[in-house]
């Protein structure tokens, strides 16, 4: 079911920017109704183009041609003002429970339409935590990115042999090891912004290895190298 519930919180896309990204969020609120109230509250100054309830209901809040206020500070592919370049989709979820099947099915239908309308490929679909790794963690560890990737609605990297680190013990920028420097380079080539090494590792794992723990390892490096198949 799709409903229109206009939010007053929007503006024009700046500088003639076109839609090139879709950013997925969770609401982190106790109910869809509470999230809807906030996303339509002029005093809150936040919004999204779409809000999807757990039962699969899709609420259209801001026209796709307008700039919704969902992404905040952050970057992707060396450019800021993600709001002007993106469609924002909020999923009603606290971040502590799995995403409901009707909600995921509705998201898949919505994403397929958005990508087709704007001529975008699966690499255009990113997490809020991808573009703001030091600030955000949504849609979180329980979101099924691989499911979307299997339908061509997001990307999932193959394991690619990462190049061996340079034998020199010299550490890279910010004191990062050669392995971490290579890992960060792979993420940047995909689209991730500059951030502290620990923040980038956490954001990468949140999306691709949500239950991994400990320092950077060979699987992290192999998956990050695989992201180079999807350049920004």
Catalytically annotated residues: 90
* Coil/strand/helix, residue 66: coil
Q: Please list, in sequence order, all residues whose beta carbon lies within 8 angstroms of the beta carbon of residue 199, skipping any fewer than 6 positions away.
A: 133, 134
* 2, two tokens: 């799709």
CA-wise closest residue to 153 among 177, 175, 120: 120
Judge contact between 57 and 1, C-beta under 8 A.
yes
- DSSP label at 177? -
Residue 176: φ, ψ to 5°: -70, 145
- DSSP states of 115-171: HHHHT--GGGEEEHHHH-TTT---S-TTS-HHHHHHTTSS--PPP--PPPPPSS---
Distance CA 82, CA 104 (A): 24
The SS3 of residue 212 is coil
């Amino acid at each position: 079911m799709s409903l229109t519930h206009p939010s007053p919180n929007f503006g024009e896309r700046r500088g003639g920017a076109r839609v090139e990204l879709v950013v997925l969020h969770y609401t982190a609120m106790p109910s869809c109704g509470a999230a809807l109230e906030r996303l339509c509250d002029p005093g809150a100054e936040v919004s999204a183009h779409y809000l999807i309830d757990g039962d699969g209901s899709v609420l259209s809040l801001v026209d796709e041609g307008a700039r919704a206020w969902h992404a905040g500070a952050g970057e992707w592919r060396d450019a800021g003002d993600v709001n002007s370049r993106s469609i924002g989709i909020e999923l009603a979820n606290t971040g502590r429970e799995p995403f409901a099947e009707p909600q995921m099915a509705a998201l898949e239908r919505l994403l397929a339409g958005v990508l087709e309308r704007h001529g975008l490929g699966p690499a255009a679909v990113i997490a809020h935590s991808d573009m703001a790794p030091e600030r955000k963690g949504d849609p979180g560890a329980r979101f099924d990115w691989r499911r979307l990737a299997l339908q061509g609605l997001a990307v999932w990297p193959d394991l690619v042999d990462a190049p061996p680190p340079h034998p020199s013990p010299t550490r890279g920028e910010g004191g990062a090891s050669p392995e971490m420097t290579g890992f960060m380079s792979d993420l940047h080539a995909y689209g991730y912004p500059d951030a502290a090494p620990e923040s980038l590792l956490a954001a990468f794992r949140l999306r691709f290895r949500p239950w991994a723990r400990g320092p950077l390892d060979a699987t992290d490096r192999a998956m990050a190298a695989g992201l180079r198949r999807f350049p920004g």
